[in-house]
Amino acid sequence: MERERVCGIVRKSDIPHGVRRVDYDQQQIVPGFIDLQVNGGGGVRFGEETSVEAIRVITSAHARFGTTKLLPTLITDTPEITALALEAGRQARTAKVPGFLGLHLEGPHLSLERKGAHDPSFIRPMMAGDLAAICAYRMNAGLVLTTIAPENVTTEQVAALVASGVVVSIGHSNATAQTARLYFDAGASMVTHLFNAMSPLGNREPGIVGAALDDGRVFSGLIADGVHVDPSTMKIALRSKAPPGDIFLVTDAMQTIGTKLAGFELNGRAIHRSEGTLKLADGTLAGADIDMASSVRFVHQVLGLPLEQALAMASSVPAKALGLDGQYGQLKPGFAADFAVLNAQLECTQTWVEGQELIPLGCPQ
């Protein structure tokens, strides 16, 4: 490694003298995981806390499970909280917080009909000021992904976001397949947590699910915890996705990751943690209780995907979805020196971020 990048992959006998050697014996060194949808970790939810330190705790919590880059995700909230989140992202980039890649704004411009656990009182149409703030962040502060619904955002607004370098994803929407295609034509290139909180694939109406699977321009995130999407449905989607767009793993993790929390509050509503799920009192899923290493194990061991494909879904594919496939997601010369060490059970035993052996912060129990 040379500074923050990989400078070469060589045989043991070709390692230069004087270079530090770390022997992981029979463990595997794999590209670091990239998670494009992380609501929280280490006891902290982004939005409830909007600071550089909050972002640092979240990235550190997920690093324990092999995630070397992530997008702290702000779910639907007030304009004031959104502004604070954008400022925290600016400061995190300036501070070079290990693992911080950019921001994901999941709302507030979503559909009420497909709101999921998002607070309906905060959902609203995208206004000129919202558009300007997101575009300004992208141009001046760094990478940003935003999830929007056609019900509350126009194709013209999507085109303006994309022209500024913002990655636009369709989600939390009941749009028809025809409408989804219009938004893909306008530049939307992703679908947020495929199958969840969106119009389903039907025999006469393909919905957003069908439009995304049938369109090679579109990448789709997938929560692989066996709860959000049935394993059989996952396998069908993976077999049917039109290339070159592909399906990648996201955790949609909440603040429970890295902790023993039994539950928490979300906008004044109690969220209960039980047997790998996070739910409101009415049974609505509220994010996920899974880390990326566990997601990789699930698609490999339960779905039967080759390990190489499972690892790619957590690394090179999300990098490609963001247009960063020349910098992240692979162990190649010139790429970021981000990697995880996995034991025989595919559990993460060590994480390196940009050439630095990461020591995770302590997490609340």
Task: Quick: pLDDT tens for 21-47.
Answer: 888 888 999 999 999 999 999 999 999
Task: Quick: pLDDT tens for 262-321.
Answer: 999 888 899 999 989 999 999 999 989 999 999 999 999 999 999 999 999 999 999 999
Alpha helical stretches, state H, 78-194: 79-95, 128-140, 155-163, 177-186
Could you tell me which residues are beta bridge partners of residue 348?
Answer: 342
Residue at 196: amino acid letter: N
Please confirm, yes or no, whether 215 is among the known catalytic residues.
no
Q: What average pLDDT does the segment 104-128 reach?
A: 96
Q: Which is catalytic among the residues 77, 215, 246, 252?
A: 252
Residue with tokens 């990697």: 339
Q: Which two tokens stand for residue 227?
A: 């709860």
Q: What is the structure's pLDDT at 16?
A: 80
Q: What is the structure's pLDDT at 166?
A: 98
pLDDT band at residue 78 under the 50/70/90 scheme: very high
| Torsion sign over Cα 149, 142, 360, 221 | positive
HSE of 201 in the Cβ direction (CA atoms, 13 Å)?
Answer: 12
Distance CA 311, CA 248 (A): 10
Range of 9-18, 240-249, 326-335 with top mean pLDDT: 240-249
| Torsion sign over Cα 165, 170, 175, 180 | positive
Q: What is the structure's pLDDT at 275?
A: 87
Spatial CA neighbour of 74 closest among 96, 43, 44, 99: 44
Could you tell me which residues are beta bridge partners of residue 235?
Answer: none
Say if residue 335's pLDDT is above 80.
yes
HSE of 13 in the Cβ direction (CA atoms, 13 Å)?
Answer: 0
Q: What average pLDDT does the segment 247-274 reach?
A: 93
**Per-residue exposure over 177-209, b if at least 16 CB sit within 10 Å of its own CB, e if not:** bebbbbbbebbbbbbbbbbbbbbebeeeebbbb
| Torsion sign over Cα 236, 222, 30, 318 | positive
Distance CA 77, CA 334 (A): 39
Q: What is the structure's pLDDT at 359?
A: 63
Domains of the chain: 33-337 (3.20.20.140)
Say if residue 361's pLDDT is above 60.
no
The DSSP annotation for 94-115 comes to HHT-TTB--EEEE-SS--STT-
Task: Quick: pLDDT tens for 159-184.
Answer: 999 999 999 999 999 999 999 999 99
Distance CA 91, CA 141 (A): 9
pLDDT band at residue 2 under the 50/70/90 scheme: low
Q: What average pLDDT does the segment 64-68 reach?
A: 97
Residue with tokens 């990655």: 167
